[in-house]
Amino acid sequence: MNTNWQLFADYWPFLVPLIILEFGLMIAAVIHILRHQHYRFGNRLLWLLLVIFIQIIGPIVYFVFGREDEN
């Protein structure tokens, strides 16, 4: 059991920035989705579900493909 804890402790410095990045992207995407009405593909509910449940990939997909260009 001690070896599992040591393994976790070894990876902790790599996990913390990844977790912060994940939550930052998710929060930014959710705020953008809630503030805007128009999307290239899909609707608001689809993008919210995608961003929230498909953690780090969902926000990236939204910002690349779902967000409509602002003029």
Residue 71 has pLDDT above 70, yes or no: no
Distance CA(51)–CA(47), nearest Å, equals 6
Distance (Å, whole) CA 36 – CA 15: 32
First to last CA, the chain: 57
Q: What is the pLDDT of residue 70?
A: 63
Q: pLDDT digit string (tens) for 18-61?
A: 999 999 999 999 999 999 888 888 888 999 999 999 988 999 88
- Where do the domains of the chain lie? 41-71
Model pTM score? 0.77
Q: Tell me, what's the pLDDT at 27?
A: 95
